[in-house]
Every structure is written in structure tokens, then in C-alpha cells.
A and B are shown apart, each in its own frame.
Chain A
Amino acid sequence: MHTSLKLALLSLLASSSPLSAQIEIDSFTFGGLSARAMGPATMSGRVAALDAAEIDGKLTIYVGAASGGVWKSSNGGTTFAPVFDDHVQSIGAIRIDPTNSDTVWVGTGETWLRNSVSVGNGVYRSADAGKTWQSMGLEESEHISAIEVSPDDSDTVYVCALGHAWNSNEQRGVYRSSDAGKTWERVLYVDANTGCGDLVMDSSAPNVLYAGMWDFRRSPDFFRSGGPGSGLYRSLDGGSSWERLQQGLPEGELGRIALAIAPSRNSVVYANVESKDTALYRSDDFGHSWQRMSDASNVQMRPFYFGELMVDPSDHTRVYRPAFTTSVSEDSGKTFTSLFGAGFGVGIHPDHHAMWINPNNPKQVLLGTDGGLYISQDGSNNWNFARNLPISQFYHVNHDQQVPYHVYGGLQDNGSWAGPSRGPGGVANADWDNVGFGDGFWVHVDPFDDNIVYSEYQGGKLMRINRQLSEVKSIAPIARDDETKLRFNWNTPLHLSRATVGTLYYGSQYLHRSTDRGESWQTISPDLTSNDPKRQRQLESGGLTVDNSTAENNTTIYTIADSPLDASLIWVGSDDGRLHVTRNGGDNWSNVTGNIPDLPAGTWISRIEASPHDAGTAFLTADGHRTGDMNAYVYRTTDYGQSWTSLSSDAISGYAWVIRQDIENSQLLFVGTEFGLYISLDGGQNWARFQENLPQVAVHDISIHEREHDLIIGTHGRGIYIIDDITPLRALSADIINDNVALLPSKPGVMYSGGALQSFGGNDEFSASNPPEAAMISYYLKKRHLLGDLKINVYDSNDQLITSLPGDKRRGINRVAWPMRLKPPKFPAATSLVPGFIGPRLPEGNYRIELIKGKQTLHSTVELVPDPRSPHSLEDRQLQQKVALELYNTLADLTYMLDSVDELSAAMREHAGELSGGAARDLNRIADKLAEHSGTLAVREGGFISGQERLRERLGELYGDVSSFDGRPTDTQLERQQQLLQQLATAQTTTDALLADQLPRANRILQRNDLAPLQRISRADWNEREGIGAPNTAGLSKRFIRQQLPSLLQLRPFLL
């Protein structure tokens, strides 16, 4: 082959060429590469559904998150665990079977139908209290408002199916099953645009049901609540027949209806009825006739979003109306007062959607809000916030370059936040800082100053924040008097240039650029949208109740990317399906939308990504779900948008939010969809879902940390996840994937200094774990390893074996943690623990790795590097390592000394047991002398907190102090070391003298009795027996020891 041709081919391969070899993968190819949940839960997310029951004297709570799955607490809310991670994460309804609490029903698809609402796929049932779930059909219902289970018959179940939000469909209305969900009968149906918005069953007469039918439609640019299909219905025969209730209810079109039956008097029914004059109605005759009670502000507030109504279980006149805040009426709904002093007196997040009142104790109340779950024990006066529900809904994520780096992002109705990627003892809620309010979206850190953050809130309100001062400057561009009003998306794109450090781009219908931190803006494009007036109806949006929160703003720019390789190349995509590119910094723009094959016109461009490898290459995702098109659209161009290739695949499920190309391996692509994270290793030819500790949650944004090689995942419903170090993933080539076994590269192991001091905060709060304090050794297995050894040996530069680690054995990528320390020091036997739980640090540098799989051996290296923040000089670190190692060896010397003596005395006592008379007595006396001597060097009386100390304890304490600090030991410690060394030398002398005196005496007795003489074990033999010289590993935080070791050591040690 000609050299030039070879070079051309090589450069093609090096770029983002579509010609790469296919790499067929599945989810297990990624093996043990796992995502780490960062939370946070300091601000939680929207709680859409709740149910609870008292079981065994404890309150069991199920929480349905708007887009974060189902969480269960068996202890009244102290701890929660996710129980629905293998399924769609948007939850509309939860119902515990009233007669069998092991049976739990979940209706997927939230029905608080805001613009960002997610979608479900039917109804699920658990027969084992949430451990496992079976899909029970109604897959096309998309949103389920309520489920009722008959208290007379667990097999009789009703589902209130709202149906599609974005287009017509027929799987909506009230469904009934008489066989626990095996089959369903649609018993109430109006038309393909009208769904069931609420359903209540009279628990004392389960054949009586009330249903609020709701005619509504969402569009990308408009929302309509209300229409001819809406109405209130009642069945008296278990759903077989229904009559529409109208007496006393408003004339004309109705909207959403919220319903509640008074448990203490079942003839009383309340209905919050949306109409042109929304009001609360009460019926005293089982719904036959209705009286208008109230049009209080909370009653009229956003009926499409607030569809919950509750009656006190013991008082039919006490009515709760959760809405912007929760109001309560004590006069059957005539007047309302807020539970929260106008909503701001108590720190409760506004926007209330779900409520549960304990029927046995109405003072106990659960409240689900846009900000999470609150629990009251005193009838709603005071509230605990559940700090353990990481169901936050991120729109975007970002990162900075601090050590450790921080992650940033904006959240639905919970502002914008920043938190560290790791911290002492993990990342707690309190480690997160607020960097914006309202609905948060994009957050960027100023590239010149970590203290300056750009964030925004809904509808294009852009801010620059000085974090130290918490000072906010509004910096959004504003149209001049002679210019057209600017149109900003709900989720307005703010882009920090990757090519020109410090340049900001912001999108209205125009592209704006600032080079002075937002002090001034240049408009560098014409209107890059359709500017179609039919899509600009936000002022009328809402239907019966106008609702213009900017959520339906349309014909706006939604995504911006400049090429990291060419500052004048900028891409812009809009929410009405336009894609433009400029190659001269905005002087000329080309509309390249028409070049994208098979993309339906007007489909929202959800993300444009400029390749960091090749200027002509870009990737886009498009999202048609707001018109009912649930396909994942993924495309690539390699010629500046002239032509596009679809990278879509049946393996990708859910409409697409984001695509990222890896910054190092051009063939490695990441796509986030409504149903998770998808990865391709071959430039988009083959895809697989990444599922290791990452639920099937909507992935709205992805960020790649350039220095740490971490993949940062912003989910809309489960907070932020980090896949620590994707270096092994980058190395999965077509060749390696076909190898039976292959070592993969990892980033260097960083020996971080410091750690948690102390914390006794109980376990009622979420905390993200840190990545292991270890160098990670990665390898690939084509199939699970079953037969023979699989282990990793680590050698130092002298080819001395440092440790042998058991290897993980699963198919795909495996990662094994090597803690970068020698194993913990040897200690002589005693009666108390001393603070020497971790071995000394190993010196920084390269270590040789040997992976042994059966008869195969593979070689690689791993590098250890110091903490980049370390204030300690290399000289000081080396002194610390030297002293710690000396003390470590001193402890081994002492252990040998005492072990060898103890073994002799034990042998003497054993022989004494075989002998009798004077021989036995003399042997025991010698053994006593030896034991007495040992007791002067290690504490063997008393026990825990005895306060006793000997040389063992003194050495252990000094070793613990020196080894837990990575810099220069104090002068006092260095002096102490010399003193203890002197004590050891003295002890050695006295020990040797004692043995020289006593051992021959003992041996004479033994010889007289025809027994073999005893001999002190040699140091060399002891070393070999104890594995010294081929030391193993160590490294265990004090926190772990304190909190877990005592119990762990007693746990199930062996199962075969």
C-alpha cells in the first residue's frame, strides 16, 4: 500500500469516520462499570403519588416520583429505598391493596401534566410488597391518575387512565379488572381526546365510584385544559354503568375535576371542578346534586397541575386542598386558610400534589410537593422534610476544574445547584450550594473564576452570580425599542464557547454573543426559527384557565454548539425543528434542516453537538414526543450539515434528549433518552443501554470531565450520576471485544489526603458515596470466569510482590480496587484494638500489574500519583512514608518477639498438660515467667477502654498518628519514635536474656521426659509464615472501622 494512501486511511480512522469496524455490544459488555448516584436530596423533586399503611406498628410509605420511580420506607420515612428501578420512572398513582398490604399497584405516567411531564407504560402489580413487579397491561395509557382496589375483593381493581397527553388515543378512561389485572374491561370512555383525570371509590360501598373525565391536549406550543368531553360521572354498580352528574354543577365546558369522598360520612362528596369559573362543589347526597362552596384562590389555582383533594378521615367538614400551598377548610369548603401562613411561614416547598392522612391518626399527614416529601405528626402544623429522596429533576449538568471537581445543574422548580464530586466521607446534602432559583436549567462556571457562575430561570432570565457574596446580577439580553420582542424558551440555551474561552452564547429567536460576562450582547443571527404565529399562542395557552408560565413559549432557539476546533463554526437548533449553521461567526447562516433525511418537519431539535475531533462533523438528536412521536432521532453529519446519516437504532428506547461524542475516542458516543443512557463504541452503528446502577430514568444531559475522564449524567428524576473513569470503556476496540481476556487502561490512582472526622447524624439523610480510595485495575472478560484462578498481582519497581487481589469475574468490563497501601501492620496478641487499621502509603510511581486467569497471564502497569492539592513537599511526603514504614516494621519486630515467646509458653503449657508432678509445675512456672514478660509489652488484662498501655499500644498509637497524615511528622513524633525504638531494643535484650535463661531449663525438663526440645521460631520462618516480605494490602477508613467492622466481622463468613 502506498504510504500516502495509508496515511489518508489512518487519518480517516482517527477522525470520526463512519468507516470503523462494527462493535456489537449489549448492556453486559459494560460489565461492572457502574454509575455512582450523587443525588442530591437536599432539594428533592416532584412527588406525584403517595400511599401508606400501618404494618406491624410501623408506617410503610410508598412514594411515587414524577420521574424518579417508586420509593419505599418501612420505617415511617426515616429511610427510603427505590423499588422500581427496572421499570419506567414516571409514576401517576400508587395503591396498596386495603386488605393485603403485600399487594401494591403502581400506575405509571404522571398526570400533573406540566410541559416537562414524562410518560408511563401501563399498570404494574407487586405481590411481595414491592420486591418484584409484573406489568399488568394498559401499556398505551401513558398516564394513570388513580387506581382503586375493592376492599371486598382484591381481584377487583379500577384504573383511571388519562391516556396520551400529546395526541389522540383510545386507551383511556376507566378500566376494570375482576381478575387482579390479568384482563381489563374499559367501562367508562368518552372519546379519544378525553381521559380519566380522577377516580374515587366509596370504601364503605365499593360499588359506588365517581370519575372526573378530562378533555385536554398538550402541544409543543400550547396547552388546552377543558372541552366537550369533560364531565363528572358516577357508577352505582361497580363500574358496569355510569351516569353523568350535572345537577348544581356549572354549565358549559369543564376542565379537570378533583374528587374526594368524606370517609366519615360517605354521602358527602367534594369536587374541585375546573370551568370558566372554577370552584369547589359539595354533594350531600352521593353526588346526585351539588352546591357551589368556594372559589378561593387555591381552589382556582392551576387545576390541570393541582388535582388533589382530601377530606379528614374523621371529620367530613374538614377539607384539604393541596395546590400552590395546601389550604384547609373547616366549614365544608366554604372558606379556606393556608396551612402555612400564606405559604412562606414554614419552609415547605410550594406546589403540592399528593397527600395522605393516616385514617387511624388524622394528625399524621404526608405531603408530596414539587420539592419532595414532608411528614407532619401534629395535624399539618409542623413538618419534617424527607432528606433521603434523591428524585431531583435536572435539565442540564456541567462541571468545573477544581480538585475535586464540582458538578452543577439546574432543576425543575428547584433552582440551580453546585456540589463536589467527592468529599470527606462522601457527599452529603449539606455539601451542595444553591446557585440559582426558580426552575433551573443551564449552569456554567466562569472559566476564569470558579466563584462566578452563570445560571438562569424559566423563560430566559439569565443571571451572573458571585457565590461568595450570593450576589445576583441579571444579565439577559433585552430587545431595544425598535426591535422585535425576544422569545425565550422555557429552557433557554446558554452556551459557553469551547473554542474561545470566556465567550457566552444565548438563544432567543436570535443568537446572542457576549465577550464581557454578559455586560453586553451582540445579536449575531437573524431569526433562526419559523417565526410561525400559529406557534406563538402562549398568551392564550391553558384552555379554560389561562396558564402562561413561559412553559409553552415556542419558535425559539433551543440548542447551541460551537466547534471546539473552529471558533467561527456555530450550530443552532430550534424548538420548531430548524437547524442552522454558520462558518463565519454569524455573518452567514445556512438552514440545513432539509438535509436531514426522515426527520418529520417541525421536530424539536433537542441537541446539537459539534465534534471535538473533526470540524465538519456534528451530531444531533431530535424529539417529537410533544406531538406523540416517541421515536429516538439521532443523526451525524461529516460535511458541515450538507448530508446526514441516521444513527437511530431499535436498541435505543425513548425519545432523545442529548448526544455527546467522547473527547478522546471519536467512535464512543453517548445518547440520553427518556428511558436511559445508551452507548455506542463504533460511531453509532451498534448501541446498548448502560444499566449498571443507572435506572431507566430520563437522561437529559451528559458532560465529560476532561481531567478525570468521568461521565457526568444529568437525569430528570434521579439526580446526577457519575461513571467514574471511562478510560476502560474508551479502550474497548473491535479487537479487544473478541479477546477472551484483556487488561484495560485506567487513570492513575490518586492518593487523596484527608477524610471524614466524625459524624453521628443517624441514617435519615441521603449521602453520595465516594469512588473507592484506590487505584482501579480494569480488564475485560468475554464471558464469566468460572474455572481456576482469576487474580491480580501487583509488583513494585523491585519486582517485589505487593499484593494479590481477588478478581471480579463477570462478563464485560471488571474493575478491581487496589487501595495503594501496604496491608495493616502486624500486632502482637492483646485484649484491645489500637488505631493501626491502615497500612502505610506506597510511594508514588508505576507498579506492575499481572492479571492471572487460569493459565493465562497478562501484564500492564498502574500509576500512583499524590493528591494534587497536597500542601506537602515531596521531601516531607517521603519522610512521612519512611517513618510510617519504620514504625510499621518496628511493630512487626515487636510482634515477632511476642509471638515467638507466646508460642514457646503455649508449647510449654501443652507439654505440662501431658506431664505431671514437678516437671509439669516447673514447665508451667517457666511459661508463667514468659507470659509475665509478654504482659509487660502488650496489654493482656482488662479490655476495651481499660486505659492500659504498653509498648504495643504506644507503638500502635504513634504509627496510627503518623500513617494517617501524609506530610512531615512532628518533631515530637520523630523524637517519640526514637524513644520507642530504644524501648524496643531494651525489650529485645531482656527477651533474649530471659529466653537464654529459661528456654534451656524448659528443654532440660522436656529431654528428661523424652520430649523434643523447643526452639524459638526464627525471624525468617516467622516472616514467611506471616507473609512479610510479600506483603498484601490494606487501607480502610477509620470511619469504616468504627461503623461497620464490628458487625461485619461477625457476619456470615462462608456460604457454599
Chain B
Amino acid sequence: MRHILSSALIATLMTFLLTVPGLSSASDTDLDTVLAGYLETIGGQAAIDNTNSVSASGKLVFPGGMEAPFTLKFLPKAQKMRMDFEFQGMQAVSAYDGAQGWSVMPFMGKTTAEPMADDQLKQARDQADFFGPLVNHKDKGHTLELVGVTDIEGTEAYHIKATKANADVEDWYLDTEYYLPFRVEAVATMMGQEVATTTTLGDYKEVDGLLLPYSIQVNFGNDAQQGIVIEAMQLNPDIDASIFDMPATPPAAENEAD
């Protein structure tokens, strides 16, 4: 962490000295500088490139304080993602195998995997992009634009508009001191309705040379919200790639035997 912090500060200072003539402000910075600052702060392109797998565990926090423990597994390069969480002793799964999404939601009695509807699939695909649209954006076909410097809840921020390959737009806000994203605004489609989502990122900590957020708060529309608290994260654990594949539905005969 100490290494990351100091490099973040140096990066900030360096870009300030190198790119900004005189005493002009953050508003003169260009996109490449912001992205370079961001990469430097979180640990550099090499550290990202060396990340083949990620696992994380923690708890989902719902309004009213209810919690559900979860584990998350990613294969960033293959864009695979799987989340398992537990509620009242029941195990739920939400996964994306790089092309298809599926879930197991046993709360209403259905314990087999079901393919995701388009809305959820789109979200799952976004989530499987572990490092998000600011990293390797050209390879991913995303277009980034530095809209300018703005103020978010009293914090000065670079506003980057990310137009993704699928034409979705996300607005990313990075603080001007460390170049760390702390807010993402997007529009999700849920049950046929567009819902504005605001994601707040925080509690950045170092994991094997990468600085990653341990606190993620997602607000849907005006009221509903979901908190994600990460308690442990690991880079490059061994992960069996088959866990991302949708399990085959048990043969009908077996069900009847019940």
C-alpha cells in the first residue's frame, strides 16, 4: 500500500509538472494524462496484464442492514465472472462465461440454472469486464472522452464519458488528486424500464501490487441501494474455468424420482 500511495502522489506531481504549464488547473489536463495517472496509481499496465484471475469474498449489504455473504471469481482476460451468495441457507449463483449468462435463484423453489434474460446478460457482461472500460479501452472498442473537470458532492473530479463498443454510455468520475474513480453513472434496463444507476467506489487497498476498491455502493434510481463490502481479494488464484459454464439441467427422470 505504501508503495502504491507514494507512486500515486509522484504520478500526480509528475503529470502536473510535465503537462501543465505555469499554474493552470486540473481543467487543462487531457484524457491521456488522466488515463496514465489512473494506470500509474492503480499499479501500472504490467500489473494489469499479469492478472489472469481474481477472487474476492465479502458481503452484500441491503437497506435495513440485511447481509448476504458472497464469493466472486473472475477470469479478466476471458471476461468470465461468477458470483455465489447465500440467503437463508440457500445458495444463489450469477455467472457469465464470456458469451452466455446464467443464474440459480433458489428462493422461490427453483434450484436449477436458468439462462439470463437480455437485461441481466448485459449487466453480467459489463461486470465481467473486471478492469472496466478505462483499461485497454481501444482493444475493447470503447471510446473515451474527457468531458472536463466537475464537482461531485464537493470533490473535484475528472469526468470521462465512456461510450462502449455496444453503444452504452457510462460516466466515470476520477478524483483529481489520485486519479481514482469514485463514481460511475450508467443506465441499466430492468424489466423493460430504464433505471439510472450510480455506483460509488471507495476503500481502495493494495492487492499484490494493484490498488482496488473494497467498497462498492450501487444506487438504483432514487431509493433502492445495494452495498458490496469486499473483505478479501486475491490475484491469480487457481480457478477451474468450468465453474463459469452453465450446469446442465438434471434429466427429467431424476426429478420425477423425487
* A interface residues (Cβ-Cβ under 8 A, vs B): 26-29, 31, 769, 772-774, 783-790, 803, 805-806, 808-812, 817-819, 821, 823-824, 826-834, 836-838, 895, 941-946, 1032-1037, 1040, 1044-1056
Chain B residues whose CB sits within 8 angstroms of the CB of A769 once the complex forms: 223
| Residue of A806, A818, A1056 with most chain B CB atoms under a 10 A cut-off | A1056
Alpha-carbon distance between A262 and B147 when the two chains are bound, in angstroms: 46
What are the 9 tightest A-B residue pairs by CB atom distance, in nearest-first order?
Answer: A943-B109, A28-B154, A1036-B64, A944-B109, A819-B65, A1033-B65, A811-B154, A827-B89, A784-B155
A787-B204, A810-B153, A895-B89 are known contacts. Are A941 and B258 too (CB-CB below 8 A)?
yes
Q: Which residue of A lies closest to B258 (CB)?
A: A941
B65 close to A818 (CB less than 8 A):
yes
| 8 Å CB contact of A788 from B72, B87, B88, B205 | B205
| 8 Å CB contact of B178 from A787, A806, A823, A1052 | A787
Chain B residues whose CB sits within 8 angstroms of the CB of A1050 once the complex forms: 94, 103, 105, 120
Q: Which residue of A lies closest to B186 (CB)?
A: A1055
A1049-B87, A1049-B107 are known contacts. Are A1055 and B127 too (CB-CB below 8 A)?
yes
Chain A residues whose CB sits within 8 angstroms of the CB of B64 once the complex forms: 772-774, 819, 838, 1034-1037, 1040
Alpha-carbon distance between A357 and B140 when the two chains are bound, in angstroms: 49
Chain A residues whose CB sits within 8 angstroms of the CB of B216 once the complex forms: 1054-1056
| 8 Å CB contact of B202 from A785, A823, A828, A1049 | A785
Chain B residues whose CB sits within 8 angstroms of the CB of A832 once the complex forms: 109
- In the complex, whether B148 has a CB less than 8 A from a CB of chain A is no
Alpha-carbon distance between A1036 and B94 when the two chains are bound, in angstroms: 23
A942 close to B109 (CB less than 8 A):
yes
Chain A residues whose CB sits within 8 angstroms of the CB of B132 once the complex forms: 1055-1056
Alpha-carbon distance between A31 and B154 when the two chains are bound, in angstroms: 8
* B interface residues (Cβ-Cβ under 8 A, vs A): 1, 5, 59-68, 70, 72, 81, 83, 85, 87-92, 94, 103, 105-111, 120, 123, 126-127, 130-132, 151, 153-155, 175, 178, 180, 182, 184, 186, 188, 190-191, 197, 199-205, 211-218, 220, 223-224, 226-229, 258
Q: What are 29 A-B pairs with beta-carbon distances under 8 A?
A: A28-B153, A772-B63, A784-B153, A786-B175, A787-B203, A790-B202, A806-B61, A806-B215, A806-B217, A809-B215, A817-B65, A819-B65, A827-B89, A829-B91, A833-B90, A941-B258, A943-B108, A1034-B67, A1044-B224, A1045-B62, A1046-B107, A1049-B105, A1052-B188, A1054-B127, A1055-B127, A1055-B184, A1056-B127, A1056-B130, A1056-B216
Interface of A is mostly: loop
Chain A residues whose CB sits within 8 angstroms of the CB of B204 once the complex forms: 786-788
Alpha-carbon distance between A823 and B68 when the two chains are bound, in angstroms: 10
- How far apart are B34's CB and chain A's nearest CB, in angstroms? 16
| Residue of B65, B94, B126, B224 with most chain A CB atoms under a 10 A cut-off | B65
A1051 close to B229 (CB less than 8 A):
no
Number of A-B pairs, beta carbon distance below 8 Å: 200
A1051-B190, A1051-B220 are known contacts. Are A1034 and B105 too (CB-CB below 8 A)?
no
Alpha-carbon distance between A774 and B63 when the two chains are bound, in angstroms: 10
A811 close to B67 (CB less than 8 A):
no
Chain B residues whose CB sits within 8 angstroms of the CB of A821 once the complex forms: 65
Chain B residues whose CB sits within 8 angstroms of the CB of A773 once the complex forms: 64
| Residue of B83, B132, B203, B204 with most chain A CB atoms under a 10 A cut-off | B203
B60 close to A833 (CB less than 8 A):
no
Chain B residues whose CB sits within 8 angstroms of the CB of A28 once the complex forms: 151, 153-154
- How far apart are A960's CB and chain B's nearest CB, in angstroms? 12
- How far apart are B226's CB and chain A's nearest CB, in angstroms? 6
Alpha-carbon distance between A831 and B106 when the two chains are bound, in angstroms: 7
Alpha-carbon distance between A27 and B188 when the two chains are bound, in angstroms: 30
Chain B residues whose CB sits within 8 angstroms of the CB of A895 once the complex forms: 89
Alpha-carbon distance between A340 and B62 when the two chains are bound, in angstroms: 49
| 8 Å CB contact of B63 from A838, A942, A1036, A1049 | A1036
Q: Which residue of A lies closest to B127 (CB)?
A: A1054
| 8 Å CB contact of B66 from A817, A830, A1036, A1055 | A1036
A788-B1, A788-B205, A789-B214 are known contacts. Are A837 and B105 too (CB-CB below 8 A)?
no
Q: Which residue of A lies closest to B111 (CB)?
A: A831
| 8 Å CB contact of B224 from A812, A829, A830, A1048 | A1048
Chain B residues whose CB sits within 8 angstroms of the CB of A783 once the complex forms: 155
Q: Which residue of A lies closest to B231 (CB)?
A: A804
- How far apart are B180's CB and chain A's nearest CB, in angstroms? 5
| Residue of B87, B91, B109 with most chain A CB atoms under a 10 A cut-off | B109
Q: Which residue of B lies closest to A1036 (CB)?
A: B64
- How far apart are B174's CB and chain A's nearest CB, in angstroms? 10
A1055 close to B126 (CB less than 8 A):
yes
Q: Which residue of B lies closest to A832 (CB)?
A: B109
A809 close to B200 (CB less than 8 A):
yes
Q: Which residue of A lies closest to B188 (CB)?
A: A1052
Chain A residues whose CB sits within 8 angstroms of the CB of B67 once the complex forms: 823, 1032-1034
B229 close to A774 (CB less than 8 A):
no
Alpha-carbon distance between A805 and B203 when the two chains are bound, in angstroms: 13
- How far apart are A397's CB and chain B's nearest CB, in angstroms? 24
Alpha-carbon distance between A830 and B126 when the two chains are bound, in angstroms: 32
A784-B175, A1055-B216 are known contacts. Are A1035 and B155 too (CB-CB below 8 A)?
no
A790-B215, A819-B65, A1040-B64 are known contacts. Are A784 and B182 too (CB-CB below 8 A)?
yes
- How far apart are B98's CB and chain A's nearest CB, in angstroms? 16
Chain B residues whose CB sits within 8 angstroms of the CB of A789 once the complex forms: 203, 205, 214
Alpha-carbon distance between A788 and B204 when the two chains are bound, in angstroms: 5
B228 close to A1054 (CB less than 8 A):
yes
Alpha-carbon distance between A468 and B188 when the two chains are bound, in angstroms: 49
Alpha-carbon distance between A827 and B108 when the two chains are bound, in angstroms: 15
| 8 Å CB contact of A812 from B154, B190, B213 | B154
Alpha-carbon distance between A1051 and B223 when the two chains are bound, in angstroms: 14
Q: Which residue of A lies closest to B153 (CB)?
A: A810
A1036 close to B153 (CB less than 8 A):
no
Q: Which residue of B lies closest to A822 (CB)?
A: B65
- How far apart are A28's CB and chain B's nearest CB, in angstroms? 3
Q: Which residue of B lies closest to A837 (CB)?
A: B66
Alpha-carbon distance between A564 and B227 when the two chains are bound, in angstroms: 46
Besides A830-B89, A1052-B226, 20 new A-B residue pairs in contact (Cβ under 8 A), listed by A number: A772-B63, A786-B180, A787-B205, A789-B214, A809-B182, A810-B155, A811-B154, A824-B66, A827-B89, A829-B89, A829-B90, A831-B90, A944-B110, A1032-B59, A1034-B66, A1034-B67, A1048-B62, A1049-B107, A1051-B220, A1052-B188
Chain B residues whose CB sits within 8 angstroms of the CB of A834 once the complex forms: 88
| 8 Å CB contact of B127 from A810, A942, A1053 | A1053
Alpha-carbon distance between A19 and B107 when the two chains are bound, in angstroms: 62
Alpha-carbon distance between A788 and B109 when the two chains are bound, in angstroms: 40
Alpha-carbon distance between A769 and B229 when the two chains are bound, in angstroms: 26
| 8 Å CB contact of A786 from B83, B87, B178 | B178
B178 close to A774 (CB less than 8 A):
no
- How far apart are A649's CB and chain B's nearest CB, in angstroms? 19
A1040 close to B63 (CB less than 8 A):
yes
Q: Which residue of A lies closest to B151 (CB)?
A: A28
| Residue of A31, A806, A832 with most chain B CB atoms under a 10 A cut-off | A806
Alpha-carbon distance between A28 and B67 when the two chains are bound, in angstroms: 30
Alpha-carbon distance between A55 and B123 when the two chains are bound, in angstroms: 27
Q: Which residue of B lies closest to A787 (CB)?
A: B204
Alpha-carbon distance between A704 and B241 when the two chains are bound, in angstroms: 60
Alpha-carbon distance between A833 and B132 when the two chains are bound, in angstroms: 35
Q: Which residue of B lies closest to A773 (CB)?
A: B64
B213 close to A1056 (CB less than 8 A):
yes
Chain B residues whose CB sits within 8 angstroms of the CB of A1047 once the complex forms: 190-191
Q: Which residue of A lies closest to B205 (CB)?
A: A788
A788-B204, A1053-B226 are known contacts. Are A1036 and B109 too (CB-CB below 8 A)?
no
Q: Which residue of A lies closest to B214 (CB)?
A: A789
Alpha-carbon distance between A834 and B111 when the two chains are bound, in angstroms: 16
A827 close to B153 (CB less than 8 A):
no
Alpha-carbon distance between A977 and B105 when the two chains are bound, in angstroms: 32
Chain B residues whose CB sits within 8 angstroms of the CB of A943 once the complex forms: 108-111
B202 close to A830 (CB less than 8 A):
no
Chain B residues whose CB sits within 8 angstroms of the CB of A811 once the complex forms: 153-155
| Residue of B87, B154, B184 with most chain A CB atoms under a 10 A cut-off | B154
